[in-house]
Structure 1
Amino acid sequence: MDTYCWIYSTFTIPNRLVGRVGKDVVQPGVASHVDGQDEVKYHKYYQWVCFVLFFQAILFYVPRYLWKTWEGGRIKMLVLDLNCPVVGEDCKKDRKKLLVDYFRTNLHTQNFYAFRFFICEVLNFINVVGQIYFMDFFLDGEFSTYGRDVVRFTEMEPEEREDPMARVFPKVTKCTFHKYGPSGTVQKFDGLCVLPLNIVNEKIYVFLWFWFIILSILSGISLLYRAAVVAGPRVRLYLLRARSRLAPQDQVETVARQLQIGDWFVLYQLGKNIDPLIYKELMGDLAAKFEENDKDTV
């Protein structure tokens, strides 16, 4: 019976979820019922949980894969081992010159590079919100309130509380099995089916509920931050000052005035990967180069 019920669908009786186990009901959702009168809820998704989780993991990896493909190791090549605090003076001077020449040559041509990163951030937000709706559909509309219901369940009295984990992932269910009797007549057996895997599934989805809510909030905040960065030159200036706090502010302002969003993004990412002292010297060299270009233009 267990094997048959595992392969085919099992069901519970939703209006028998509340009651004393062993007196009112055999298990939550398992009790006698009348066909056509009592509501019956079939559970089929437990067979697909592992495949769905694997599919979701692939969806989460897609934005990262896109960015790694688009980025092509540019920041790693630009760092040129300047993330080490101990670098030979000649080597440091040559590599700083390469960076300054790179920015002078590619000034105002890196916006597309930055916007591809921003697209991946938007995809992260769409992905996590879309997966919340997808899991809600997969679990017959139960996922959107699943974690909240579990927390509320722990605060209720034992006699009157309905276990949401038993409602979504029942460990014991009912199963109808048909077979031929001795005379060839079809007989119907109403049996119990044990689903031990749901002991793991219910914990996985409680964790996923809280994790997805946290991810969606953080992704939303990240998008608001990114919108402020794209729309506000002053915001970019403040962030660049914070990243190059060792450099004089007038040098930072001189550099920031020359940068578009793509140039700012690359320079800001370099600040995360270069030693702060070397980054300070790089900002000074960039400011001097930009001031020299302005004088030549005049």
Structure 2
Amino acid sequence: MVLVELLSGIRGLVKVKHKADIDSAVFKLHYQLTSTMLFCFCLLVTTNSLVGDPINCLHSDHPMLQHKVVNTYCWIHTTFTLPKYINKGYGRGTGVLYPGVGPYNPSDTKVHHAYYQWVPFVLFLQGLLFYTPHWLWKTWEGGKLDSIVMGLSLPVMQRDARQEKIHLLADYLHASIHYHNFYAIKFFLCELLNLANTIFNIWFMNKFLGGMFLTYGIDVLYFTETNQEDRTDPMIVVFPRVTKCSFNMFGPSGSIETHDLMCVLALNVINEKVYVFLWFWFVTLASISFLALCYRILVFCVPAIRSGLLQKRARLRYKTGLEAIGKKLQVGDFFLLYLLSKNVELIAFSSLMEELSSRLARRPVHPDLEVSLPMPPPERFHLINENA
């Protein structure tokens, strides 16, 4: 039942909601796709540790060494590997059973591995981090776009009702011109936060894995192209499948006995695959987010690009139809119109752009619109402005 509830919660992140589209496709890669993947990986790692044994340690037949006690002790107090045996040949005649595992002296350098206890928590935290910018933008947006669309996203609507809503929406846009810049700035800050969050997660995972995550994916690719006998698998170095554990206990005379154990970490078979995928995905996501941010800056800074995008969205035949919009609209006005173009049906948006352009140019409205659009009562117009 718990597994079903978790899957139901994850499904809520990716299901299509019939509300206004208030962000971009790149934005959705962060809070829908990436967050969902991280939560699924967290669920996978957690389920694997609950169903099977995450660690199994081989010990002698000492009457005081109980299997469950030894496994629990080594899981809690961490295991370790020996760097001097990482890149050495192993097998018969070498004295090394496995990379990083071999006889050792107390003076040898040890690399302790405790991260596997925290992997599920870290993945869950990362999922929340990637969802945070969307939550912040959704809070700042406050349902504004959904309130001013007024059902114009429906492809089938009576002509009079459509033209009346277009008229009311044009009234609101014309009356609130140049008042949407802060609205666009908040969205830009959330896009910038998406990029910063991706870079931060790469840095954070590198710290979490002992400084070996930055080149993890490159090392794995390089390993696949070389002779495996000449080089140790980097996935085994970062996520060792066999480690050592020192278990201390009192002997019959009261002296301290140290038992040298070899432990198998079956959970790392899953962890190594998860983090290889995350390395490639985060690098790709950071690149896409950076390009999207550059594109957003370019659009915001060049009025001609903004005018061309609105013309393409509205499918207007004549470029002169948007002359006034290209000259008089600011960044915030363009951004609101761009979001409207994603939520308003094509014919309705084209009519809206023509009417808004006519009003900004101070020329009479198109005859068809002038005949079919009755002037709304003043109190209704004020109501629309208040709801928006």
Global fold match (TM > 0.5): yes
Pick from 309, 327, 332: which aligns with 1:257? 327
- What pairs with 1:25-174 in structure 2 (closer than 5 Å)? 25-36=96-107, 38-174=108-244
The alpha carbon displacement at 1:242 in A equals 2.1
- What pairs with 1:274-285 in structure 2 (closer than 5 Å)? 274-285=344-355
Equivalent-residue separation in structure 2 for 1:219 and 1:31 (angstroms)? 45
Structure 1 gaps, min length 5 = none
Cα RMSD over matched residues? 1.5
Aligned length: 293
After superposition, the C-alpha distances for 1:208-249 in whole angstroms (9 at most, x for unaligned) are 101110111011111111111222112212222222223521
The residue type equivalent to 1:170 in the other structure is P
Equivalent-residue separation in structure 2 for 1:293 and 1:50 (angstroms)? 63
Equivalent-residue separation in structure 2 for 1:101 and 1:87 (angstroms)? 20
The residue type equivalent to 1:64 in the other structure is H
The SS at the match of 1:177 is strand
Equivalent-residue separation in structure 2 for 1:117 and 1:82 (angstroms)? 23
Q: Which residue number in structure 1 is paired with residue 339 of structure 2?
A: 269
The alpha carbon displacement at 1:146 in A equals 0.7
After superposition, the C-alpha distances for 1:58-94 in whole angstroms (9 at most, x for unaligned) are 1111100010001111222222221222111011011
**2:302 matched to 1:232?**
yes
Pick from 11, 14, 17: which aligns with 2:86? 17
The SS at the match of 2:229 is coil
The residue type equivalent to 1:227 in the other structure is I
Equivalent-residue separation in structure 2 for 1:125 and 1:78 (angstroms)? 30
Equivalent-residue separation in structure 2 for 1:72 and 1:9 (angstroms)? 47
Is the contact between residue 307 and residue 325 of structure 2 (CA under 8 Å) also seen in structure 1? no
Equivalent-residue separation in structure 2 for 1:20 and 1:141 (angstroms)? 24
The SS at the match of 1:196 is coil
Equivalent-residue separation in structure 2 for 1:242 and 1:164 (angstroms)? 49
**2:85 matched to 1:3?**
no
Is the contact between residue 246 and residue 277 of structure 1 (CA under 8 Å) also seen in structure 2? no
The SS at the match of 1:11 is strand
TM-score (norm 2): 0.73
Equivalent-residue separation in structure 2 for 1:21 and 1:88 (angstroms)? 78
Is the contact between residue 304 and residue 326 of structure 2 (CA under 8 Å) also seen in structure 1? no
Structure 2 gaps, min length 5 = 1-69, 365-388
After superposition, the C-alpha distances for 1:20-74 in whole angstroms (9 at most, x for unaligned) are 55323212211112221x3211111111111111111111111000100011112
Is the contact between residue 247 and residue 280 of structure 1 (CA under 8 Å) also seen in structure 2? no
The alpha carbon displacement at 1:13 in A equals 1.1
Equivalent-residue separation in structure 1 for 2:165 and 2:84 (angstroms)? 72
The residue type equivalent to 2:265 in the other structure is L
The alpha carbon displacement at 1:293 in A equals 7.0
Q: Which residue number in structure 2 is paired with residue 208 of structure 1?
A: 278
Equivalent-residue separation in structure 2 for 1:195 and 1:255 (angstroms)? 64
Is the contact between residue 223 and residue 231 of structure 2 (CA under 8 Å) also seen in structure 1? yes
The SS at the match of 1:178 is strand
Is the contact between residue 247 and residue 281 of structure 1 (CA under 8 Å) also seen in structure 2? no
Is the contact between residue 247 and residue 284 of structure 1 (CA under 8 Å) also seen in structure 2? no
The residue type equivalent to 1:152 in the other structure is Y
